[in-house]
Amino acid sequence: MSNNSELHPIEKSLLRALVPNGHMSIEKLIEAANLSTDQVRRGIEWLKFKGLISSTDKSFTVISLGSRGQERLKEGLPERRLVNAVKEGNKTLTSILKNGLLKSDEINAAIAVAKRNRWIDLSQFQTSDKVILLAASAADNLSEEEKLLQKLLVQNKMETSELSAEERKALDLLRRRPDYIVEEEKKHSEIILSDAGKKIIGSGFADEATMERSLTPEIITTGNWKNVNFSSIDVIAPTPAFYPGRQHPLMDIIDEVKEIFVSLGFTEIDGPITQSGFWNFDALFTPQDHPAREMQDTFYISGITQDSFATSSQIQRISDVHKEGWRYDWNIDEAKRMVLRTHTTSVTIRYLADNKPESARVFSIGRVFRNEKVSYKHLVEFNQIEGILTARRATLRDLMGLQQEFYAKLGIKKIKFWPTFFPYTEPSLQSMIYNNELDKWVEMGGMGIFRPEVTQPLGLDNPVLAWGVGIERIAMLRFGLDDVRDLYGNNLRWLRSLPKCQL
């Protein structure tokens, strides 16, 4: 049983509003307590939980004017038109019909009702077809039916429970006339103050005015907090969901990956998105007729070539290595063509060429571009991360160990390696990780040790371990997506549903 100091101001307002009647519909409660619908609904849940109120579903009937009722009200009900006609001097049915004051199918019913209302007097007959009608003085009064119809015209809708005994009778009569009245069955929740609720109200609430609900900088700096009486706040009470602006989940993953690299002793490097073919392909020992270099796979930037992309000795050595290794005449014009980088390995290789480190751990993250058909698996533009480690005795085993460490920090424990091919590494491996949800192994990234054809022309003596992986792959796995396009769909519901962090 709660005591009243634990009651929230919303709860107190609701209880107060319930006092006069002991019960109320939710709609009325919203008005009476002067709170928002949402606040009232929440407050009701809390009070119910505390046993201070209960609720029952109550059904009720709402009546309004039907189409025919509306029409008749305008032109006069048939019985009203009948007495009016009589008053105007039409004493026989024949003359009323002849003058078009009532239709023949209306007249019998009109007579019956007018008679019931004591509006006409049929006591004096002449012949059977020439009935003399005498309007009685009571004909000046509105009938109960007319009164109810008028009232409905003004009020639009009435609940049958609000009708007086006369109105109820009128309603019964009107029900016999098709389309005069529309009746709708409705339901609402009636909130009822429980005995415990009454008791708590009886004990009196703490005075709201002297209770402080928010802690402001002023209260702290003025030292006023010592005197203020703070009302307690239920920090685990359910509240409406609040969606502030947030970083895109993909950016969260990028941050997380950066964090992992840094924790493993790596430093971030960066490089341009556009590259000469030289650094994207040639320096990586990718032959000039390699299918990856074709227009279908790579975006070339038309009309732009880069003349001073490397030193003449770098160009000479790369040319020699291609000639010797691939046995063709290396064409410098191909190397000058500008591309949207197809992988972050172009950033890696430029870093190595510029810095010739004996040992280093660096990584880069950035967008790469491939001329693919967009599908659930592929985008033309995605993000790649790439790590490299160079050291005198770096081995393939170190590279695999690093992968294990890297993926473990992402929460991925089951990993295996598969031999594969890249023109620039030997040996080359593909990492596969186990997707628990799909219950299968999925390809993650490529890796290997740079070939001497790559390292020697640039003057690098130590082995270079390198690996690259798509960020979107990691994100899909993390968020359980099977379509990469979902990451870029800006589906608000999905974006909001993702937790900012996993507890």
Q: Which of 454, 459, 462 is nearest to 395 (CA)?
A: 462
Nearer to ligand PHE, 298 or 345 (CB): 345
Candidates 34-42, 91-99, 110-118, 464-472 — which segment interacts with ligand PHE by CB under 6 A? 464-472
Alpha-carbon gap, residue 78 to 118, rounded angstroms: 15
Closest approach, Cβ 452 to ligand PHE, in A, equals 15
Closest approach, Cβ 372 to ligand PHE, in A, equals 12
Q: Of 35, 385, 447, 464, which lies in the binding site for ligand PHE, with binding defined by CB under 6 A?
A: 447
Nearer to ligand PHE, 24 or 388 (CB): 388
Nearer to ligand PHE, 135 or 464 (CB): 464
Candidates 117-125, 331-339, 441-449, 455-463 — which segment interacts with ligand PHE by CB under 6 A? 441-449
Alpha-carbon gap, residue 83 to 91, rounded angstroms: 10
Q: Of 467, 471, 474, 477, which lies in the binding site for ligand PHE, with binding defined by CB under 6 A?
A: 467
Considering only residues 334-393, where is the footprint of ligand PHE by CB under 6 A? 343, 345, 386
Considering only residues 405-424, where is the footprint of ligand PHE by CB under 6 A? 422
Candidates 213-221, 238-246, 466-474, 480-488 — which segment interacts with ligand PHE by CB under 6 A? 466-474
Q: How far is CA 172 from CA 68, 148, 166, 183, in A?
A: 16, 11, 10, 12
Q: Is 181 in the site for ligand PHE (CB under 6 A)?
A: no
Closest approach, Cβ 426 to ligand PHE, in A, equals 10
> What backbone torsions phi and psi does residue 141 show, to the nearest 5 degrees?
-80, 145
Alpha-carbon gap, residue 249 to 476, rounded angstroms: 11
Cβ neighbors of 299 (< 8 A, separation 6 or more) are 339, 340, 369, 370, 371, 380
Q: Which of 78, 169, 166, 177 is nearest to 120 (CA)?
A: 78
Q: Return the H-helix or E-strand segment holding 355.
A: helix 345-355
Asked if 468 and 343 touch (Cβ cutoff 8 Å), the reply is yes
Q: Of 457, 468, 477, 478, which lies in the binding site for ligand PHE, with binding defined by CB under 6 A?
A: 468
Asked if 190 and 24 touch (Cβ cutoff 8 Å), the reply is yes
CA-based R_g, the chain, Å: 43
Closest approach, Cβ 344 to ligand PHE, in A, equals 7
Q: Is 454 in the site for ligand PHE (CB under 6 A)?
A: no
Q: Is 466 in the site for ligand PHE (CB under 6 A)?
A: yes
Residue whose entry in the numeric block shows the structure tokens 């191909």: 334
Closest approach, Cβ 468 to ligand PHE, in A, equals 3
Site of interaction with ligand PHE (CB under 6 A) = 343, 345, 386, 422, 425, 446-448, 466-468
